[in-house]
Amino acid sequence: MKRFSDPFGVTATSPSAPKKARIEIIPLIDVIFFLLATFVLFTLSLSKIQSLPVDLPVPSAAVVSADEDMVVLQISGSGSAYWNQELIGLADITPRLQHYRATSPLPRVLISSDDNARYGDAVRALDEVRKAGITQVSIETAYRATGR
């Protein structure tokens, strides 16, 4: 076997020398990635997304007037509350809720709080709404500034 080198320092064998078998990994990696992508796409096509048709209610004038009659009860961090933006004490919540229940045909309450409100005060307000017999209660989870 005759060896020679070119000017770049690469040593080569003459064409008459037997060649060694080499395993090329790059085509193997390409095939593996192709199979993986095919498997992922096939798996995603198997899952069916099922949904139910929902008929959303259309707002009417009666609903809008009921929203105007809703009471916003906000609990603040200072140990006070706001009844439709009117400052009241926590002890005043119960009689106001009872009066509201007696005078409103469809009593609805939205309970809100500021960032500094205590969890226990908000739960007590929710309990007072329940004790007053008001069943339509919402709890606001978005930030609302104190007294707004």
pLDDT in tens, 52-91: 888 877 766 554 454 567 888 898 888 888 898 888 888 8
Tell me if residue 56 falls in helix, strand or coil: coil
Runs of H (alpha helix) within the chain? 25-46, 61-68, 93-103, 119-131
- Written out in words, the top-level CATH class of the domain with range 62-139 is alpha beta
Residue linked to tokens 């690469």? 10
Q: Rounded to an integer, what distance in angstroms lies between the CA atom of residue 104 and that of residue 39?
A: 62
pTM of the model: 0.52
* Per-residue confidence (pLDDT) for residue 31, from 0 to 100: 92
Residues of the chain with pLDDT under 50: 63-64, 66
Q: Rounded to an integer, what distance in angstroms lies between the CA atom of residue 87 and that of residue 114?
A: 14
Structural contact between residues 146 and 113, judged by C-beta atoms closer than 8 angstroms: no
* Per-residue confidence (pLDDT) for residue 69, from 0 to 100: 79
The single-letter DSSP state of residue 16 is T
Domain ranges, ordered by start, for the chain: 62-139
